[in-house]
Structure 1
Amino acid sequence: MNETANTTTLPEGHPVQVYFQEREIIYKLLEELADADPAEDIQKYINIFNQLDTIEKRFARKENQLFPFLEKKDWLGPSQGMWSFHDNLREQIRLIRYYIKTSNPEKISINTGFLIDGIYRLMHVEETVLFPNALELLTETDWIEMRKGEEEIGWMLPQAPAPFPSVAYVHPSEDFTIREMPFSLENTSHYDEGHMTVEQVNLLFRTMPLDLTYVDENDKVIFYNRGEERVFPRSAGIIGREVKFCHPPKSVGTVLKILDEFRKGTKSESSFWINYKERLIYIRYFAVRDADMNYKGVIEMSQDITDIKKIEGEKRLLDWE
Structure 2
Amino acid sequence: MSEIINNREQETTINSNRLTMLKKIFKDLHDGKNVDEVKAHFDAFIGKITIEEISKLGNDFLEEEGIAITEVHRLYAAHMEIFKGAIQEEYQEINRPEDQPGHPVHTFKLENRELDKLVQSKLKIHLELFEQEDSTENIYKLAEDINLLLDIDKHFSRKENLIFPYLEKYGIYGPTNNMWRIDDFIRDAIKDAKQQLTSYNGDKKAISEAVQFIIAEVSGMIYREENILFPMALSHFTEDEWVKIARESDEIGFCLTSPEVEWKPERNRLDEKAISEGYIKMETGILSLKQLELLLNHLPVDITFIDQDDVVRYFSHGKERIFARTKAVIGRTVQNCHPPRSVHVVEELLADFKSGKKDTEDFYIKFRDKYVYIRYFAVRDENGEYIGTLEFTQNIDPIQAIEGEKRILE
TM-score (norm 1): 0.49
The structure where helix makes up a greater share of residues is: 2
Query: Of the two, which has the highest radius of gyration?
Result: 1
Query: What TM-score comes out, normalization by structure 2 length?
Result: 0.39
